[in-house]
Amino acid sequence: MPVDQQPARRIQPTQSYLQQQPGYPGQPGHPGQPGHSGQHPEPPATPRTPRRRRRGRRAVVIVAVVLVLLLAWPIGLLIWANGKITHIDALSGAPSQAAETYLLAGSDSRADGTLAGDPTEGQRTDTIMLLTKPPSGSASLISIPRDTYVAIPGHGNNKINASYALGGPELLVRTVEDFTGMTVDHYVEIGMGGVSALVDAVGGVELCSDLDVDDEKSGLVWTPGCHEADGTTALAFARMRYSDPKGDIGRTERQQQVIKAITAKVARPGTLVNPGAQVDLLSAGLAALAVDQDTGILDLGRLALAFRAATGPDGVRGTPPIADLNYRPGGVGSAVLIEPDAAARFFASVADGTVTIEEE
């Protein structure tokens, strides 16, 4: 018979294979052996997806959506805020130094204190502060009195605030750099009237003074002690000087106090987690600011951190060493004379973080 027509043979399992199978005599599962119930085992049930697993996946999706929203909001807010910043020409291009230095100039350029449009038109620079964050040591906030007698490049000697009237922010920056020996990395101009809107946006601030004041020029009416101030009162508090025995020095101290109070209010958790409050604060704050061409919203964030360090317990606040508060060189009226021999050492210590201010 041909090979392909032969019937298939059934292959029998070997004896040794059979002996190893359950149910074979002598093996567990054979009738009469331990482990046998006398019934055939049921086939395994089809596994079902637990409800708990489905709920866990739903929770993961919800958490992921919340995280996306939490990340998207601040990023979008930063992009929006960055687009609302007013930029002006200000920096001199001098080589950077180790310390990060911000020149803060307060002005009364407009009745409402905002700096929209041309922020230099008709401007008076009444506040000049140098905020410095060195790589190590103390951050500092040094107020340079507006009447400080200095050399203005190309214009001879005059009060430092005259540099702005003569050449705008660029000349002010060059004058400050020549006077201090420090490079200005960021220029931030603050419309003091805009401070009023910012104070109102944070719900008012607490301010303190021992003076008894009824000042017609600034509009400040004040009794000694600490009081909750709205925007109008805070602005008058920051502007007043004629009823202050310390004159311009006292005014710079109160201006620092107002800015510090606003910063503290902004940093409260209730403000940081309130989207509506964030938008109101940024709108009010940015409307009052003009910055150099290279400064953006992240630089302003670093400025806020530096300001917080300078006004904190380890920071340094004050003025350069003053030789004469009523210096009269002729032709400029009463001016403030800084100690000529001590000025260079003072600003060098500001730059390296070793500056200290003598208590009066």
- Structural domains for the chain: 81-352 (3.40.630.190)
The model's pTM? 0.71
Q: Mean pLDDT score of the chain, rounded to an integer? A: 78
Q: Can you tell me the distance from the alpha carbon of 345 to that of 321, in angstroms, rounded to the nearest whole number?
A: 10
Give tens-digit pLDDT for 58-94: 666 666 655 554 455 455 545 545 556 788 999 999 9
Determine the length of the chain. Answer: 360
Give dist(CA 167, CA 153) in Å, integer: 10
Closest listed residue to residue 248, CA positions, set 257, 258, 238, 259: 238
For 130, counting Cβ atoms within 10 Å of its Cβ (0-12 exposed, 13-18 middle, 19+ buried), the class is buried
Give residue 256's pLDDT.
84
CA trace torsion 85, 91, 95, 97 (10° rounding): -60
For residue 60, give every residue at least 6 positions away whose Cβ sits within 8 Å of its Cβ, in sequence order, or none.
none
Q: Quote the longest CA-to-CA distance of the chain.
A: 138
Question: What secondary structure, in 3-state letters, does 13-73 show?
Answer: CCHHHHHCCCCCCCCCCCCCCCCCCCCCCCCCCCCCCCHHHHHHHHHHHHHHHHHHHHHHH
Dump strand ranges (E) for the chain: 86-88, 100-107, 125-133, 140-143, 149-152, 156-159, 186-191, 205-209, 213-214, 221-222, 225-229, 289-292, 316-318, 322-327, 335-338
Residues of the chain with pLDDT under 70: 1-84, 108-124, 267-286, 358-360
Cα gap 221→217, rounded to integer Å: 11
C-alpha distances (whole Å) from 216 to each of 21, 187, 213, 344 are 110, 32, 9, 39
At residue 85's C-alpha, the angle toward residues 81 and 90, to 5°, is 150
Which residues are paired to 316 by β-bridges? 140
pLDDT digits (tens, 9 = 90+) for 15-45: 555 555 555 555 555 555 555 555 555 555 5
Residue 304 makes CB contacts below 8 A (sequence gap 6+) with 263
Helices (H), 135-208: 162-180, 192-201
Decide: helix, strand or coil at residue 122.
coil
Q: What is the pLDDT of residue 360?
A: 46
CA nearest neighbour of 324 among 253, 259, 234, 249: 249
